[in-house]
Amino acid sequence: MIRAPLSTTSVLDETAEVVSRAAAPWAAVVAATSLPYRFMQIIFIERVSELGSAATHYGRALGTIANLTILAFIFSRWGRVVFARACRLAEASDATPGREAWGVPLVALVSYLFVSSIAEIVYYASVLTIVGPVLAAMLAGLAIGTAELNTRPGIMAPWRHIARHSKTSKQLMSFVFIFFVGVIVAFINLAATFAAGAWLAHAFAGVSLARWDVLLSIRNKHYIFLLLAGAIAIVEPFWIAAHVVLVRRAGVAETGEDLRIWFRELQSRWAE
């Protein structure tokens, strides 16, 4: 089957190849840098749910946790940019990227931090709506995809790149849906893995499950949040790579290179 170069399925196909080349060890960088942020988010949500309607009286305490969460947020964005660079290098050379993936230009990192902060604000401000988080996810995706295109500092430069690639909104919307489903599937798989592990420990090692049943229960909020953090950590490298591939392909489409590649692909298939 021959698909259009910018189709969602062809981008996802290439994403799988790129992640397989860049995953070791660069996916570990994403996981190691994003987990502190996810844990801080969990702590924040837990404190808010504990306080309930009294949360408005504990603004300072929540603010302290929010500040620490934002520090972890900065660290996680750095990890994302490193992985995005590793994906771009893997895509360009058809090999596992080496140490050069660490060399993220400062202007790319700060520009990405700038746009992803806005995406984060949009997300938190509209968390109770459906459209807001979807838009925030699309903006965050374009931000990581275009991060390395920023070569000059400025607050308008990142928006020019985002505006130029916003014509891929159909694919971006598809990614939001696909990766949302991906997180749910990863969540279910993680829960099943832990349940199977507990069952095996009981069956073969005689471990008492009385305590573990309570800890690994879906009624345990901590467990659910940790599963969610784990599921996001599993899907995140694919999400980053998909946007890097999409932005690269959209750039290629502008120059007409995509048509040349497609034509070569058609020629090779006719020759077979």
Partner 1 sequence: MPGPARQTCIHHPQRLAFAVCMTCRNAVCQACATQWDGIYHCTTCLAARRTASRERGSVAGWLALVAGVLLLLRLTTYVMVWAGALIAGLF
| Least spacing, CB of residue 42 vs partner 1, in Å | 12
Whole-number Cα distances in Å, 66 to 17, 48, 72, 196, 239: 37, 11, 10, 36, 25
Give the separation between CA 189 and CA 112, rounded to whole angstroms: 32
Q: Based on CB atoms, which residue is closest to partner 1, 33 or 171?
A: 33
Q: Based on CB atoms, which residue is closest to partner 1, 4 or 127?
A: 127
Q: Based on CB atoms, which residue is closest to partner 1, 68 or 183?
A: 68
Q: Based on CB atoms, which residue is closest to partner 1, 107 or 198?
A: 107
| Least spacing, CB of residue 110 vs partner 1, in Å | 5
Q: Based on CB atoms, which residue is closest to partner 1, 155 or 218?
A: 155
Q: Which residue, among 101, 111, 64, has the nearest Cα to 237 in the 3D structure?
A: 101
Helix or strand run (H / E) with residue 14: helix 8-51
| Least spacing, CB of residue 174 vs partner 1, in Å | 27
Q: Based on CB atoms, which residue is closest to partner 1, 70 or 173?
A: 70
Binding site for partner 1 (CB under 8 A): 44-45, 48-49, 51-53, 55-56, 59, 62-63, 66-67, 69-70, 73-74, 107, 110-111, 113-114, 117-118, 120-121, 124-125, 127-128, 152-155, 157
Whole-number Cα distances in Å, 50 to 21, 35, 62: 43, 22, 12
| Least spacing, CB of residue 246 vs partner 1, in Å | 25
| Least spacing, CB of residue 229 vs partner 1, in Å | 17
Helix or strand run (H / E) with residue 230: helix 221-255
96's CB contacts (< 8 A; 6+ apart) are 21, 22, 24, 90
| Least spacing, CB of residue 231 vs partner 1, in Å | 21
Give the separation between CA 23 and CA 83, rounded to whole angstroms: 9
